[in-house]
Amino acid sequence: MENKRVRLRYAPSPTGPQHIGGIRTALFSYLFAKKHGGDFILRIEDTDQTRFVKGAEEYIIESLNWCGIKIDEGVSVGGPHAPYRQSERKALGIYQKYAEQLVKDDFAYYAFDTGEELDEMRKRLEAAKVVAPQYNSVSRQNMKNSLTLSEDEVKKLLSENVPYVIRLKVPRSEEIRFHDIIRGWVVVNSSQVDDKVLLKSDGMPTYHLAHIVDDILMEITHAVRGEEWLPSAPAHMLIYRYLGLESTMPQYAHLPLLLKPDGNGKLSKRDGDRLGFPTFPLDWTDPATGELSSGYREKGYFPEAFINILVLLGWNPGTVQELFTLEELAQLFTFERVSKSGAKFDPEKAKWFNQQYLRKKSDEEIAALFLPLLKEHLPAGSPLLESKYVTTFCKLIKEKAHFVNEFWSLGSYFFIAPESYDADVLKKRWNEQSEKFMLVLTDNYKAIDNFTAAETENIFKQTGEQTGVAVGTVMQLLRVLLTGVGGGPMLFEMMELLGKKETLQRLETALTKVKN
């Protein structure tokens, strides 16, 4: 094992958009592979044709690309183990022979039971108060399978093409031990394990068989997946053992659940839109119903913030550091620092992460992101689309925002003069004294040429002395007269950007309007 090249796969089923939990599995696998100079593989597990959803595979690839998770081998890029789609691998006959081998070695068997017969079995077991009715070492004795039928009967049914499945022959009571990188040793008695179907009647392998065959053939060293697979893991250990592949099997890591913000239960796909935050990386429109589920990308999250949010759902660096680049994570990541217990999703913290990355970006970068949004509001050729103006606007407004897509609503007054003024502030602050202050201030501003933040602030203070008005009582009023609203970025910086002409024009308009 030690000398093997480290290879991890992300193996989603294309049954819809990938939930953030799935992308976290991909991210952890990718980070571990990169830390050890290994490969990250994308395999598509599409053996359940009834649950296939069109567009899901493309969605998965686009999500990984957006996150910056580079696929070394897989459906989208090819590689030495192609094809990477299980339906195509099935067509090549890759799985059937493993199932047949298990039957031959008496570790699996043919089961010919019809749907009705299985229903009857369930009812019978329920009537007998069996807690978890399942097809297992006990109940199989009363069913129609190659363990209960004679060899001749089995041959006959097979030759008549009677549909069958191949099931794993789980021993009655045997201790199954396996090591999980996150959980340590796990011990389960085989009496808890059902006789899992390995090959379905349409010849398709189930997940249980297919992932094992593929992990072996693709030389996977670590199999990382969600905690929901833990109950199936003992069956998987038996399959490895029965195929004689225990010495080359990957090490398993079962990741902790993602929990709702209040910690009360598993985060479900529907929680996001219900609670006001996305649970998907990208927007997804259900092809059958047209229903839209929102994604981080479209909500305005940066991919850097998104992966930072994801990585801390279950992993911690053991230090106080909170912001990490993908490259740093690929140095730091270990499964030893992944917790066993569920990770609570915190929507407020998610926004905080985006804000941190927003502040890290240069004003020019942000301006480039904001410009297309701004163009939706201004006529083509508007002088306010000029790069210096937009860049300085971004510099001022970014302190107030979590997302670039909030800039317009937070600061549209930088581009359009206000039409109305915050009534509460006016009620509180507009009086004879403050009016006098504003008139003198307007005259004083007219007299200066150097309309900088520092100079306008000086004049503001001087006007206070000149008129005997405490500037603290008129500062917010001045902001309201210029912008319409009571809060915003630094007042004098903003005036410098608006410029002398625009500032004076707005003041004069406001003074006439407010007076009447």
Q: Which of 216, 205, 227 is nearest to 250 (CA)?
A: 216
For the CB of residue 164, give the shortest distance to ligand GLU in the complex, in Å: 24
**Residue with Cβ nearer ligand GLU (121 or 210):** 210
Residue 44 forms beta bridges with which residues?
85
146: amino acid identity, one letter:
S
Lateral strand order in the sheet of 197-199 = 108-111, 165-168, 197-199
For the CB of residue 74, give the shortest distance to ligand GLU in the complex, in Å: 13
Q: How far is CA 8 from CA 36, 193, 228, 233, 475, in A?
A: 11, 27, 19, 17, 60
Q: Residue 202 has which token pair? A: 């349409």
303: amino acid identity, one letter:
P
Cβ within 8 Å of residue 81, ≥6 positions away = 41, 73, 217, 218, 219
For the CB of residue 10, give the shortest distance to ligand GLU in the complex, in Å: 7
What Rg value do the Cα atoms of the chain yield, rounded? 32
Check if the beta carbon of residue 473 is closer than 8 Å to that of residue 461: no
Residue 276's region, left for phi above 0, alpha for psi from -120 to 50, else beta, is left
Q: How far apart are CA 64 and CA 27, in angstroms?
A: 9
Q: How far apart are CA 257 and CA 183, in angstroms?
A: 13
Q: Which DSSP letter does residue 460 get?
A: H
Check if the beta carbon of residue 494 is closer than 8 Å to that of residue 418: no
**Residue with Cβ nearer ligand GLU (211 or 506):** 211
**Residue with Cβ nearer ligand GLU (11 or 213):** 11
For the CB of residue 225, give the shortest distance to ligand GLU in the complex, in Å: 4
Q: How far apart are CA 180 and CA 316, in angstroms?
A: 19
Check if the beta carbon of residue 484 is closer than 8 Å to that of residue 477: no
**Residue with Cβ nearer ligand GLU (223 or 478):** 223
Q: Which DSSP letter does residue 81 get?
A: T
Query: Which of 260, 269, 299, 436 is the catalytic position?
Result: 269
Residue 343 forms beta bridges with which residues?
258
For the CB of residue 222, give the shortest distance to ligand GLU in the complex, in Å: 11
Q: How far apart are CA 446 and CA 514, in angstroms?
A: 20
**Residue with Cβ nearer ligand GLU (45 or 271):** 45
Residue 178 forms beta bridges with which residues?
186
Binding site for ligand GLU (CB under 6 A): 11-13, 45, 207, 211, 223, 225, 229
State residue 432 phi and psi, 5-degree precision: -55, -45
Q: How far apart are CA 10 and CA 226, in angstroms?
A: 11
**Residue with Cβ nearer ligand GLU (210 or 329):** 210
Q: Is 269 one of the annotated active-site residues of the chain?
A: yes
**Residue with Cβ nearer ligand GLU (75 or 358):** 75
For the CB of residue 29, give the shortest distance to ligand GLU in the complex, in Å: 9
Residue 176 forms beta bridges with which residues?
188
For the CB of residue 223, give the shortest distance to ligand GLU in the complex, in Å: 6
- Is beta strand 284-285 parallel, antiparallel or unpaired with respect to 292-293? antiparallel
For the CB of residue 457, give the shortest distance to ligand GLU in the complex, in Å: 60
**Residue with Cβ nearer ligand GLU (45 or 496):** 45
Residues assigned a catalytic role: 269
